[in-house]
Amino acid sequence: MAFPESIKSKVYEYCTNHLPDDNWYKEEFSFIEDNSLKKRIIEEFKSIRFAYKLYEGIEATNENHIFEVRHQIFVYASIYEAIIHYILYNYYKDTDEVRKLQYHTVPTRLSFSEQQMVNVKKILNRANEDIFIYHMQERKKEQSQIRFDDKCYTAAKLGLINSFKNNNGETIDLPSEIIQIYEYRNAIHLVAEQRKKVDYELTLSKKAYKRMQPFLSQVKEGLRRDHKGIYS
């Protein structure tokens, strides 16, 4: 049974109070020219902020608090991933850095006739052994083979994400922290955790949110510098 309208109205008012309006989202993600992707990212960002306010408002504890914290990590990590992938493959696809990201050298077996292999075995004095000859060949990776941390390092090499100093003068290694957030997203399991683990997750979820603003600012500054996308 749904809440009475009066309660729903108060909940929505609380959850949307102090959150940015639609123009803020449009401005922050204006560099994404794929409207479908931009819409999805904005929806994810708005929904996770709404959910945070909701769980904050009910002062969620125990498993509800854990769920809220882990869901924040998952959503923010997914947003980081989507933006970095989009930027690299749309605005920097012709750079040496992105080419190196997509290609690797692998040992590839060479084919020879039976007689040729007989001669090779004679030369190597390995007549009674199976001999296989390989050479190193450059091949394009499957998309699933390209690791997210390598994408982050590539973005850093291109000057799109960098370390910065926070308001306390501390140096924040943004690429490494984004990698940490993403790796933890992949490590989340549906198991009971010790208090120490939950505290760590809470710290990481706050970090995932706080790093989003400098991340977006750095990406847009890099695109302006390189005259990419809407800044071309």
Q: What is the pLDDT of residues 98-123, one digit of tens each?
A: 999 998 887 888 788 888 877 878 88
Q: Which contiguous run of DSSP H or E holds residue 105?
A: strand 103-109
User: What band does 2 get if pLDDT is binned at 50, 70 and 90?
Assistant: confident
What are 52-89's pLDDT values in tens digits? 999 999 999 888 888 888 899 999 999 999 999 999 99
Q: Which contiguous run of DSSP H or E holds residue 139?
A: strand 134-140
Q: Which contiguous run of DSSP H or E holds residue 51?
A: helix 35-57
Task: Answer whether 97's CB lies under 8 Å from 123's CB.
Answer: no
User: Helices in 92-211 by DSSP H: which ranges?
Assistant: 96-102, 114-124, 148-157, 174-187, 195-210
Q: Which residue has the tokens 């390995």?
A: 126
Terminal C-alpha separation, the chain: 53
CB-facing half-sphere around the CA of 105: CA atoms within 13 A: 4
Q: Indicate the pTM of the whole model.
A: 0.84
- Of the candidates 166, 173, 204, 196, the residue with the CA atom closest to the CA atom of residue 69: 204
